[in-house]
């Protein structure tokens, strides 16, 4: 646990009592603060009270009279589409509003750091796609290299729930726009921006607000090294804003779509090869094609980001390359779950929208595609150019018929259930095929979440293979 500093003897309100909210209350108490908790869900309040925390309705008159700060869980809107009423009440009372990320950065350093040979460092990863894989890959590389590392934030443990870092330790954080937007302190040593595509637009008042939330990690964080994906205009703009000139190697530009040139520090992937250039010279190259845990161009971008972050931390190219080969990937994200009789089975249940499904489809050939679910706005037009590798689609979900109608020119079978789709795809799969779950839709019509959907696919494939 990271005890929260700066509130000893003061009351601090905590709004939202999920995983991060309860961890925040515990860390506040450990630092000497007096947490005052609230959640609209009675069950969440009961859980907090069972741990001995006081609860109080923060909308009652005078609720903020003795409150030093309000700490808000990431799922609670603070500005768009409209502020939560409790947050508005805190504003009116002049009470500072923060989140657990802000508390983490202001509380991380301990007195023992003065005795460390190497002070701990923080790597923070943000962006639209690839944050989880990039963060997990950085953590994996550090661990394989024998460096003490912890993975936290939007993945792994809550930021205040981790252990105090040891001498030479690294904390790897995945940070969403919800987290970077509100944090009052953002001071990573290395910050990574993967890419930007439209997401959470209602929460941020449009794409500009969404990008502004991501940009705060760099503009206000002032990292020693900034690793920026420059395959979109927003990344190119951000890299330009942070750099003092073409040779400024505090900014490491990365790409999976183009060769990067110039006197600075660049890492890019082309035709399956990762290359590092510094001062106009190539310093390293890695063949990413045989690495099973990093298939496709989108994962090659993740590899570039993780490589650059680890190079910024002082690791050698050979150490990073060796760790790449043992990276198994994340569950539900282009995860190879089995290979049998020349057929590869891949679980990408996290591909809940057209953009992520399109990347998955481009990563493989000879695809027997399990898709469908609760459709999102915009239809499937964005997938058309990626369907050339699909031999057949097996459509699931309550809207299977409507989904299949949009796959013009692609052989599609309406299966409705995962059980039927897996059985049909496996029965028809041939040597060299990939059976890919990449739904391009949400899971809520049949499952509680995308993890449950991916687990169902995985279980059915493995059960069928075991019976052969």
Per the annotation, binding residues for ATP are 127-133
Instruction: Return the closest-CA partner of residue 19 out of 75, 85, 58, 78.
Output: 75
Phi, psi of 187 (to 5 degrees): -135, 60
User: Which residues, listed in sequence order, are joined to residue 35 by a DSSP beta bridge?
Assistant: 12
Instruction: In whole angstroms, give the CA distance from residue 4 to residue 451.
Output: 32
Structure tokens given for 150: 């912890």
Which residues are known binding-site members? 127-133
CB of 256 closer than 8 Å to CB of 231: yes
Per this entry, what is the length of the chain?
468
Instruction: In whole angstroms, give the CA distance from residue 154 to residue 131.
Output: 9
């Amino acid at each position: 646990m990271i005890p929260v500093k700066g509130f000893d003897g003061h009351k601090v309100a905590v709004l939202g009592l999920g995983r991060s909210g309860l961890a925040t209350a515990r860390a506040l108490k450990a630092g000497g603060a007096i947490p005052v908790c609230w959640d609209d869900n009675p069950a969440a309040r009961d859980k907090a009270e069972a741990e001995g925390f006081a609860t109080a309705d923060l909308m009652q008159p005078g609720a903020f009279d003795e409150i030093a700060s309000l700490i808000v869980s990431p799922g609670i809107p603070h500005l768009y589409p409209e502020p939560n009423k409790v947050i508005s009440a805190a504003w009116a009372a002049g009470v500072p509003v923060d989140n657990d990320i802000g508390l983490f950065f202001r509380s991380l350093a301990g007195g023992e750091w003065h005795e460390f040979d190497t002070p701990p460092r923080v790597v923070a990863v943000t962006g639209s796609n690839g944050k989880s894989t990039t963060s997990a890959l950085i953590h994996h590389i550090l661990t394989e290299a024998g460096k003490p590392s912890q993975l936290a934030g939007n993945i792994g443990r809550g930021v205040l729930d981790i252990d105090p870092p040891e001498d030479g330790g690294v904390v790897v954080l995945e940070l969403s726009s919800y987290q970077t937007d509100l944090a009052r302190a953002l001071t990573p040593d290395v910050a990574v921006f993967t890419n930007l595509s439209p997401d959470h637009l209602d929460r941020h008042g449009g794409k500009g607000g969404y990008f502004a939330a991501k940009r705060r990690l760099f503009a206000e964080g002032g990292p020693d090294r900034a690793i920026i994906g420059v395959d979109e205009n927003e990344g190119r703009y951000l890299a330009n804003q942070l750099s003092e000139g073409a040779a400024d190697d505090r900014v490491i530009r990365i790409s999976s779509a183009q060769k990067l040139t110039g006197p600075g520090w660049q890492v890019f992937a082309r035709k399956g090869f990762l290359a590092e250039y510094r001062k106009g010279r190539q310093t390293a190259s890695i063949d990413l094609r045989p690495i099973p845990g990093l298939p496709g161009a989108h994962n090659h971008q993740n590899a570039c980001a993780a490589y650059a972050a680890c190079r910024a931390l002082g690791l050698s190219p050979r150490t990073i390359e060796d760790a790449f080969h043992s990276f198994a990937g994340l569950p539900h994200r282009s995860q190879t779950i089995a290979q049998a009789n020349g057929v590869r089975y891949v679980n990408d249940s996290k591909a809940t929208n057209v953009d992520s499904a399109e990347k998955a489809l481009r990563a493989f050939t000879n695809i027997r595609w399990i898709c469908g679910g609760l459709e999102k706005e915009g239809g499937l037009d964005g997938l058309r150019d990626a369907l050339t590798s699909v031999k057949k689609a097996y459509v699931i979900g309550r809207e299977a018929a409507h989904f299949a109608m949009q796959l013009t020119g692609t052989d599609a079978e309406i299966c409705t259930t995962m059980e039927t789709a897996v059985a049909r795809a496996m029965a028809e799969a041939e040597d060299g095929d990939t059976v890919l779950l990449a739904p391009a839709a949400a899971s809520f019509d049949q499952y509680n979440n995308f993890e449950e959907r991916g687990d169902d696919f995985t279980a059915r494939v493995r059960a069928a293979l075991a019976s052969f």
